[in-house]
């Protein structure tokens, strides 16, 4: 299931973007509302068997998702599981845990 399935879509017509919208010939943009993630308890993370991946140059969540799950769309499961919303929050050499079972990972992060 897509992570966008249950997300609200809102109209962004904020004044602060007026100059940008004008330059692109649009009046408004429709966008997904940023979700609020529940904090995952450390006990729950520790209870799930994980692959251990050391973050290296060129790594991206979607690439790890493709490698471990065969599908890039589950990148957000890995990001959420590690409490890192984007690759910019991971440093070279950081340990990234990737749930061995996608279904268990989904259960924890959803």
Residue 46 shares a structural domain with residue 98: yes
Residue 32 shares a structural domain with residue 46: no
Between strands 95-99 and 50-54, the pairing is antiparallel
Range of the domain at 49: 42-109
- What 8-state DSSP symbol labels residue 82? T
CA–CA separation, 28 and 102 (whole Å): 37
**Residues with Cβ within 8 Å of residue 92, at least 6 apart in sequence:** 55, 56, 57
CA atoms within 13 A on the CB side of 31: 8
Residue 96 shares a structural domain with residue 76: yes
Residue 52 shares a structural domain with residue 83: yes
pTM recorded for the entire structure: 0.69
Residue 52 shares a structural domain with residue 103: yes
Could you report the per-residue pLDDT of 4-16, keeping only the tens digit for each?
A: 666 788 888 888 9
**Residues with Cβ within 8 Å of residue 52, at least 6 apart in sequence:** 95, 96, 97, 98
Higher-confidence residue of 98 and 47: namely 98
Residue 10 shares a structural domain with residue 53: no
Residue 27 shares a structural domain with residue 52: no
Is the pLDDT score of 68 beyond 60?
yes
Residue 30 shares a structural domain with residue 13: yes
Residue 65 shares a structural domain with residue 93: yes
Name the domain count of the chain.
2
């Amino acid at each position: 299931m897509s992570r966008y399935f249950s997300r609200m879509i809102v109209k962004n017509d904020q004044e602060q973007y007026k100059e940008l919208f004008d330059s692109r010939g649009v009046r408004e943009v429709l966008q997904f509302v940023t979700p609020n993630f529940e904090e995952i308890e450390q006990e729950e993370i520790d209870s799930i068997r994980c692959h251990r991946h050391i973050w290296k140059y060129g790594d991206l969540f979607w690439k790890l998702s493709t490698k471990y799950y065969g599908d890039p769309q589950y990148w957000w499961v890995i990001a959420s599981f590690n409490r890192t919303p984007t690759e910019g929050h991971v440093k070279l050499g950081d340990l990234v845990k990737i749930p061995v079972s996608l279904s268990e990972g989904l259960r924890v992060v959803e």
